[in-house]
Each structure stands twice: as structure tokens, then as C-alpha cells.
Amino acid sequence: MQKCLRRCGRYAAVYTFGFVSSSLLWQRACQLSAVPFTGLIPFTETSSRDKVISTESFGFQAEERLELQADTQSVTTSDSPSLHFAAQSERNSSQIQTEEPGADSSDLCVASGAKAKSPFLVPPNEPPRDQYAPVFLSEELLNRTDFTIKLLKRFTGGWTVDDPAQAVFYIVCCGPLERFLQLPARTPERPYLCYDCDAVLHLERLSIMKPESPALSDTWALLSRRDFMFSSTDLRYWNIMNDSAPLLPGVTHAHHIPKVEELDQRRIRPHDPPSNFLTFQGLWNCGQLGSSFVRLNMAVMLNSTRRLPKAMKTASGEPLPLPQKNYTPPRDVFISIAGEQHNYKARRHYYALFDSAYSLVMHGHGRWSYRLMEVLSGGSIPVIMAEGWKLPYAEVIDWEQISVERPERLGLDPQSLVEGLPRDATRIAATRQRVKEVFETHLRTQERRLTVLLRSAAVWKQNWREREKDTLRMLADAYSVRSDNVLRHLSP
């Protein structure tokens, strides 16, 4: 842990510069594109206001630290260090509340508070199949052992073709950037789909280098091409420190880990009603370069580990003192977090944890988490605490119907987190039913996941002119449209 914190400090100066430069990037882009600029990088619905830097003021860190310290002191805690068997808070019933007599089913809401409706944003026959298949798989992709998208080649039904000219999507991977730039032009309606390429293309350089740097000219050139879109586990991977950074132009897919076969083998049939209210078990992995401390803070507030860290952390990495008292949740809440496996105070069978009304999906090393698929597989409602993460297949799946989003700062206030989740049995049952429908329809098998990926990409490209306005393509246009290097590679 000490080594991790030292490493975070070592890179703080570099990523502070990158964070500010991305804000200035957006300001300049807005000026060149006649988009109003407010002094901040634009917020998304899941953006963290603790991680956005104003170009006019840098005094936010002290205010944030005082605010979070006040939040920490305001938590009502228990003297008992036990995580699971303490007496229940008088203000919170440990039983899921039953439906009140005479409740109107037309006013039914799901756990997020939204009115209950279909969890699918598009009908099952839309878009038509000829808008997302067949596809052409590049040779580099077929040679990968870890990319499940190559399984399209094995599926029956004419998913792939050998002639790129006949393909709706030309799927590429693995770089290098120079090879992508040399690919012949296609149209935005039949584009290249760059699968999991953000790391190999070193897009993180955009967050730490000046936009006019010659080293970025090829990157801007690729992002300017309307015949390229991306599929990634995190469309903001290029800037891990800014949860409001523009997205890559494209769609989010679920990571191939865990394999669908493993989920089927290990899944435990949940009870109805579920055995637990809220669960989580895992390590307190801090975000890369200090981008998140939600797990570490919650481990301290719950006193769930035999070896505590020296301090908690604000969103910006400032140290906070350890609390004098800890919060003991109700008996039907099991949250166990530690720095190392042998330091857990209590552990349970991992897949039995998802026999729960809710399960936490928290920011770990990165925003995306393979835990999301585990939670959905178990029929639990995911409580997502990973700001800036555009969820998988969001063009097809209405995540508001099957999940709950909470800010990462509640890692410092787990009591508010627990007490803020609805206990109404009807709302929980309605949401869990939708979780089951989505998992069975789109996520249960590898073929279904790849189908929903291509359908999501098809929906995105149907309205690509509008969707690209919130992406890095806007910056590429603003900074590089006059560059000879860009013009040489632009699609007609």
C-alpha cells in the first residue's frame, strides 16, 4: 500500500498537468466550434464534481477536503468493530418492506427511482440485421487468444465475410496507429470498428501532452476519421483522472473476464426474496495513479480489515484522518474489504454473495469492472460506484431500469449509502425481474453478448453526427482539421 501511495505521489504532477490540459483542450475546441464554454469540462450525469478542475480556480482541493471531513464526522457510528452481527440501527429495518395495501401498479418504480418500463431501449428486431452483420475480422484479431469477438467466425448464420467490401463493420485491433491510418477509406455507415484498441494506441498521451505536440498528430488524424469508431470497456480510458472527459467515439462492451462458461458453472440460484440486502467482498484496489479511493475509504469506515491503511483519501488524493468510530451496518448487509486476502475479518463464498437485493460494483484499478457481469448473472441489482463509466451496450440496454448509481464519495459515508437504497419489496422484485430479462436476453451466452455489441454499434452509427458531438472527435476537428497530416488521412 505504501508503495502504491508513493507511486501515486510520483505521478501527481504529471497527471495534474494532464488534467488541466484536457480542460483547456475542451475550452479551445468549444471556441473553434462555436459551442459555449462555461469554464469547466462538461459534466455527464455520472460525473464527479470532486474530480473536475475549473480553469478559473484551483482552490477546490481545500474546500473538498473540508467538505469530506465534515461528511466523515457527521456519520452516526457504532462502537462495535463487528461487521456482521451488531444490533440493527433503530432507524433502519433489516427486513425488506412489503408492498402497502392498495398500491397502484401504474405508479410502480424501479430501484433507481425511475418509473418502471421495459429495460430495452430498442425493440428486438431493431436495428435490422443487415445494419450490423455480416462483419469482416482482421487477421490480427483472429490471431488473438483473448478476444472473444473472433468467435463470430464460428457462429452459424453468416456472421462474417471474407470480402471487406461486403461487411457492415470491418473489425480491427492491436494497432499500430500507423497501420490504421493506412487502411483504405470506408463510410461512416460501414465503418471500421476498433476493438479494445485504446491502450495499444496509447491514447492516454492526449491527457498529458500539449495538443499541438507533433507526437499527437497521427492520433488526431485517426480520431478525425468518420469511418472509425471504437469499442472499449471504458470510453474514457484515455483520461483516468477526469470523469467528465469526452468519450471515444463508439460503444462500451463488457470485458471477456469472467468467461460466460465460468459464470454458468459457479452461479448460485438466488432466493426469492433474496437472503441479503447489500453485499460486496473484494480488495481495496485504488484507482490507477490515485484516480479513486472509494474501496479503501469504505474498508476503513466499516473496519472490515485486520490491517488498516494510514489514512483515508479525498477524491483528489488528499489524506483524511482515520475515523474514531466505525459504522456497523444492519445484519443483512455484508461488506468485506481488505488490502490483502489474508487481512479479511470475514469472508463468504464469493458467488453466494449475489443472493442479495443489491451488490456493489465499485471503481477498482479502473472504472470498468468484471464484477458487473457477476452481479447480473446472480440476479442482483448492481449499485454502481464508478463515476465516468459509460455502461456496456448503453445504446440498447436501459441501465436506469436495472441498476442504481451512487457517487464514489459515499465510500466515506456507508451509512448514507445503505440507508439510501430502497427496501420496498415491490421495487426490488420489479428491478430484479428486469435484471434477469436483460441478462438472459443479451448477456447469458457469448453469442448474445457479441450480438448486442454489434447492435449497439449499429444504433450508434445510425445517428453518428449527433453522437460524435460529445466525443474526442470534436477535439480532433478543432485542433487538427487544418493539419496536412490529418487531411491526408480523412475519409471523403
Per run of 10 residues, the mean pLDDT along the chain (length 492 residues) is: 48 47 51 38 37 32 39 38 36 48 67 98 96 96 90 93 97 93 96 93 92 89 94 96 95 94 92 96 95 97 95 94 95 97 95 97 95 97 98 98 98 98 98 98 96 98 93 83 43 36
Prior bond of 184 cis (ω within 30°): no
CA–CA separation, 382 vs 375, rounded Å? 6
Q: Report strand pairing: 250-252 vs 276-283.
A: unpaired
Cα–Cα distance between 320 and 297 in angstroms, integer?
9
pLDDT for 468 equals 93
Grid coordinates representing 430 are 420489479
Angle subtended at Cα 115 by Cα 111 and Cα 120, rounded to the nearest 5 degrees: 85
As to burial, measured by CB atoms within 10 angstroms (0-12 exposed, 13-18 middle, 19+ buried), residue 321 is exposed
Mode of pairing for the β-strands spanning 192-195 and 169-172: parallel
- At 7, which helix (H) or strand (E)? helix 2-33
User: What predicted TM-score, i.e. pTM, was given to this entire model?
Assistant: 0.80
What the chain holds in terms of domains, given with CATH numbers, is 2-63 (no CATH), 80-98+259-446 (3.40.50), 129-247+451-489 (no CATH)
Helix 217-224 and helix 472-480, axial crossing angle in degrees, nearest 10:
120
Nearest-angstrom CA–CA distance, 345 and 83: 8
Q: Where are the alpha helices (DSSP H) in 145-211?
A: 177-181
Return d(Cα 472, Cα 394) in angstroms, integer.
Answer: 18
Residue type, 261: E
**Residue 415, C-alpha cell as written in the block:** 451509512
Beta carbons within 8 Å of 308's beta carbon, 6+ residues apart: 299, 300, 322
